A and B are shown apart, each in its own frame.
Chain A
Amino acid sequence: MPLSGMTSIATTGTMAAALDAAAAGDEVAFARIVAAYHTDMVRVAYGICGESALALDATQAAWIIAWRKLGSVREPDHLRGWLVAVVANEARHVVRRQRPTALVELRRQSDRDDLDPSDGIDRLDLADALRRLTPDERSLLALRYGAGFDSGEIGPLLGISGSGVRARLARIMSRLRKELDDGRA
């Protein structure tokens, strides 16, 4: 289930042309790609890092890689998936390097100020549960529930089978269910 506010630009002929031009070094075309996919990438990075500054660092690093390697994207339809995979990879690296800091940042007091009692799942509980997952587990959640990819699409991005993705997601959701849903039923 992709986020309703996320970019869902179909890779039209126009975007394909932008990809070709950007791969050839056209800054304006690259800016069009940035405008189209930056939101998706920041949100996926945030889902993995759990902290805004780290997510922006990862996204910036991902865009630099994208600028250098856009020519390797042969199918325009694969552009969004490729970009999201790049930023997910960068976010995992960033959060591992910054791990102790990230753990502290996730517990900042402002989180408590953002609580919405009407939420089905408490925001702070959710953040705590996500913090206890590994960066790769958070990657799976971000790709599935943030970017809206299904397991068959996630598998090639991470180098594992679709069934492997499903099994891992099921295991993660089982954990989250225990942590977030116990006592409700």
Chain B
Amino acid sequence: MAGHDLFETRFADAYGRYLREAPVEVDAAELARSIARAHPRSRVAGRMDGHRRASRLAWLVVAVALLATLAAGAVMVGSRLAPAVDVAPTAAPLPSTPALLPAAGFTVADLAGTWTGEVLMPGFVSPEASITPAKDTTFTTSVTIGACAPGATCGSVSYATRDWTGSGKPLSCSGSLKYRGPYEGGSGFAFEEAISSRSGAPVGPEQAQACSNNILVLTPLASGATVGVEEREGGMAWQDYGVLAKSATP
């Protein structure tokens, strides 16, 4: 223990010197002024209020026009249908979800489909390769998302090591995903993993984390054809990050 304390002291000293390399000089008044003027609160709020009012008005007009069209269509078409016509059941509508990612305009419904790609789990160089992956491990990953409402199990996930020579043993697992809701104020969509099957043995704590019940965060990127994926242990992102592409739609 004493040895550890001594190391911690030496580390804290060296780390302190390291952090003091950071450029900390600042003209606080100028920085505050530039931020305050680039992001004026009242005017932003005013614009947002105006935008919301305009949006509500636009939606009201659209809704009235749609109802009128539907009513007219019902009168014209309904009278021509035989009463015994079979009507195929339609798919249940996606549950309404809170507006998310307002800047990009994505909702969790945009995640519906199958996403595949590679997720990198950084390892670290260690002399104890028997218990710890000695280098980064790449997992081929497949995530399928259906119609999600907060708290609903609506997807599945599977992982398998692609190049396991560095980790020593192959490892794969799969499970279901429960939609948890927006993540970090709308920067992504969070899902709770429930791993139900595993094959292979994890090597060290890093790989064990890869097949445990983590939090999976999917963030639509750019056009929505790709998502950023993060594998988070509790509130932390410990090991995994990558980009998945949409390979199938429901």
Contact = CB atoms under 8 A, between A and B. Distances in A.
Contacts of A89: 184
A34 B10 contact: no
Interface string B1-33: 001100111111111111111111010110111
Given A25-B41, A31-B33, A121-B11, A132 B124 contact: yes
Interface in B94-142: 122, 124-128
A185 interface: yes
B80 interface: no
B35 A47 contact: no
A67 interface: yes
Interface stretch (B68-76, B164-172, B192-200, B234-242): B234-242
A177 B7 contact: yes
A56 B11 CA distance: 24
Overall SS of chain A's interface:
helix
Interface residues of A, number: 67
Nearest to A139: B236
A31 B236 CA distance: 32
Contact of B28 (A35, A43, A119, A145): A35
Contacts of A47: 15, 18-19
A168 interface: yes
A145 B16 contact: yes
Interface string A19-61: 0000001011011111100110011011100001001100000
B4 A127 contact: no
Contacts of B42: 25
Contacts of A4: 16
B36 interface: yes
A180 B9 CA distance: 13
Contacts of B125: 132, 179
A179 B134 CA distance: 13
Given A4-B16, A39-B24, A63-B35, A132 B11 contact: no
Contacts of B122: 132, 134
B241 A126 contact: no
A46 B24 CA distance: 10
A177 B238 contact: no
B234 A137 contact: no
Interface residues of B, number: 49
B237 A135 contact: yes
Nearest to A159: B235
Interface in B49-80: none
Most buried by A among B4, B42, B124: B124
A92 interface: yes
A64 interface: yes
A142 B19 CA distance: 9
B205 interface: yes
A98 to B, nearest CB: 12
Most buried by A among B14, B20, B32, B125: B32
Nearest to B40: A25
Contacts of B236: 136, 139, 158, 160, 168
A27 B32 contact: yes
Contacts of A142: 19
B19 A3 contact: yes
What 6 pairs across the A-B complex have the smallest Cβ distances? A159-B235, A46-B22, A31-B32, A35-B28, A121-B14, A120-B10
Interface of A: 1, 3-5, 25, 27-28, 30-35, 38-39, 42-43, 45-47, 52, 55-56, 63-64, 67-68, 89, 92-93, 96, 99, 114, 119-121, 123, 126-127, 130, 132-137, 139, 141-142, 145-146, 158-160, 164, 168, 171, 173, 175-182, 185
Interface of B: 3-4, 7-24, 26, 28-29, 31-33, 35-36, 38-39, 41-42, 122, 124-128, 184, 187, 205, 230, 234-239, 241
